[in-house]
Amino acid sequence: MIGLAGLGLHVRRNMGARSGELRRLAATSPNAVDGVFANTEPGLPRAKASLRMLVNLVRSRAGRNLPGDRVPLAEPRVPTVPGGLAVTWLGHAGALLEVDGRRVLVDPVWSEYATPVPFVGPRRLHPPVAPLTVFSDTDLVLLSHDHYDHLDRPTVLRLARDTSAVFVCPLGVGAHLRSWGIAGHRVVERDWDGVVHVAGLTLTCLETRHFSGRGLRRNTTQWAAWKVAGPDHTVYVGGDTGPSRVHARTGAEHGPFDLTLLPVGAYAELWPDIHADPEQAVAAHGALGGRVMLPIHWGTFNLGFHPWDEPVERARKAAADQDAVLALPRPGQRVDLTGVRTIDDARAAVPTEPWWPGPR
């Protein structure tokens, strides 16, 4: 009984803020109705889930959603002085950005499982690229939404303890952080189109097409992409998104972008509007006016029914078809884009060779 009670307390703490506090925050937003946030675009037609379809999807996933060999990692190189523009992919949606001399840690997840319940749910396909202390000089932690594969309670609590970073997040997500004991003065929340100035950078909270939720209730906190702008460079952090016309509007109003981080994995015909497939992600990069695209949301937690390497293989082909520049670093590998001003510069600067093992 004590064990079950302890597990229940652990799960409850991981879920974050109480519904009353989330409803209070949502009431301040023009993008929420009765305490629930919503996408501005209607949902796409979904395939009807039948028992046969589910069985076929599970069979197609069996084994092939795992790498056939060890995932090769690179030891992160964190320079003493941050660069003008660089990115270190940490696996899944996590990244360390260097933007005009500042460090931004995006959606960091160091836990073994992307779930509130220990030993259940999606498990890491490779270990973290380095101890979290390697990133202790981070200026700010940027969060896209509150799903467990993007917001990890043990990771953010360690960052709150070991760094002086400010936490920047969409409206409502800050309530989770405060409920976990992170001081309110270190938490900055914004709704779509909100702007915040932190550590010499300007961050704009941008609309994207997804959903949120850590418990039984969905969409009680906002989900977002972010524009991270310094004096000389601009980055688009996509978080999670489905295909959307908002990318073209964002490109027109906020682009172009020197670098885009866009999700390419966890797509399925059962949820076509919340996770873009690789071709749609590369198209979004073009609509945003991006120069270099880093594919994220693959290779660490396989949350879809596709083979583990299918997202990056399809993204490579789509980039070739759409004449886009794709950076394909190993987890932990730093890509320095300082001084990159043209597409030709970009092609010369980014790693492009396949490094990933095939599926089992």
Per-residue tokens: 309 = 């390497």
Q: What is the pLDDT of residue 1?
A: 44
Measured at the alpha carbon of residue 63, what is the angle toward residues 66 and 265, in degrees to the nearest 5? Answer: 45
Question: Beta strands 195-198 and 201-206: pairing type?
Answer: antiparallel
Asked if residue 357 has a cis previous peptide bond (ω within 30° of 0), the answer is: no
| pLDDT of residue 48 exceeding 80 | no
The answer to whether residues 207 and 225 touch, using CB atoms and an 8 Å cutoff, is yes
| pLDDT of residue 121 exceeding 80 | yes
Q: What is the pLDDT of residue 60?
A: 55
As to burial, measured by CB atoms within 10 angstroms (0-12 exposed, 13-18 middle, 19+ buried), residue 29 is middle
Give the count of alpha carbons within 13 A of 83, CB side only: 17
| pLDDT of residue 322 exceeding 70 | yes
| pLDDT of residue 358 exceeding 50 | yes
Q: What is the pLDDT of residue 73?
A: 98
| pLDDT of residue 190 exceeding 90 | yes
HEC states along the chain?
A: CHHHHHHHHHHHHHHCCCHHHHHHHHCCCCCEECCEECCCCCCCCCCCCCHHHHHHHHHHHCCCCCECCCCCCCCCCCCCCCCCEEEEEEECCEEEEEECCEEEEECCCCCCECCCCCCCCCECCCCCCCCHHHHCCCCEEECCCCCCCCCCHHHHHHHHHHCCCEEEEECCHHHHHHHCCCCHHHEEEECCCCEEEECCEEEEEECCCCCCCCCCCCCCCCCCEEEEECCCCEEEECCCCCCCCHHHHHHHHHCCEEEEEEECCCCCCCCCCCCCCHHHHHHHHHHHCEEEEEEECCCCCCCCCCCCCHHHHHHHHHHHHHCCEECCCCCCCEEECCCCCCHHHHHHHCCCCCCCCCEC
Rounded to an integer, what is the distance from CA 148 to the centroid of its chain? Answer: 11
* Reported confidence tier of residue 129, pLDDT bands at 50, 70, 90: very high
Percentage of the chain lying above the pLDDT 70 cut: 91
Q: What is the pLDDT of residue 88?
A: 99
Among 110-119, 143-152, 316-325, the minimum mean pLDDT is found in: 110-119
- Average per-residue pLDDT in the chain? 92
- What value does the mean pLDDT take over residues 123-149? 97
Q: Which residue has the higher pLDDT, 17 or 356?
A: 356
| pLDDT of residue 45 exceeding 90 | no
> For the segment 208-252, what is each residue's pLDDT rounded down to a tens digit?
999 999 987 899 999 999 999 999 999 999 999 999 999 999 999
Locus of tokens 């097409």: 209
- What value does the mean pLDDT take over residues 4-33? 77
- Cβ count within 10 A of residue 112: 14
Q: Which numeric CATH code is attached to 2-39+69-349?
A: 3.60.15.10
Sign of CA dihedral 145, 242, 191, 25: negative
Among 12-26, 49-63, 101-115, 334-348, the minimum mean pLDDT is found in: 49-63
Closest residue by Cα to residue 259 from 281, 283, 227, 224? 227
Q: What is the pLDDT of residue 302?
A: 87
* Reported confidence tier of residue 117, pLDDT bands at 50, 70, 90: confident
Q: What is the pLDDT of residue 264?
A: 98
Q: What is the pLDDT of residue 58?
A: 57
- What value does the mean pLDDT take over residues 186-202? 98
- What value does the mean pLDDT take over residues 71-85? 96
| pLDDT of residue 41 exceeding 80 | yes
* Reported confidence tier of residue 34, pLDDT bands at 50, 70, 90: confident
Phi first, then psi, for residue 160 (nearest 5°) are -65, -35
Percentage of the chain lying above the pLDDT 90 cut: 79
- What value does the mean pLDDT take over residues 78-89? 97
The answer to whether residues 226 and 250 touch, using CB atoms and an 8 Å cutoff, is no
Q: What is the pLDDT of residue 53?
A: 54
| pLDDT of residue 13 exceeding 80 | no
Among 51-60, 170-179, 287-296, the minimum mean pLDDT is found in: 51-60
| pLDDT of residue 318 exceeding 60 | yes
Rounded distance between C-alpha atoms, residue 165 and residue 159, angstroms = 8
Which residues fall within 8 angstroms of residue 307, CB to CB, at 6 or more apart?
A: 64, 65, 359
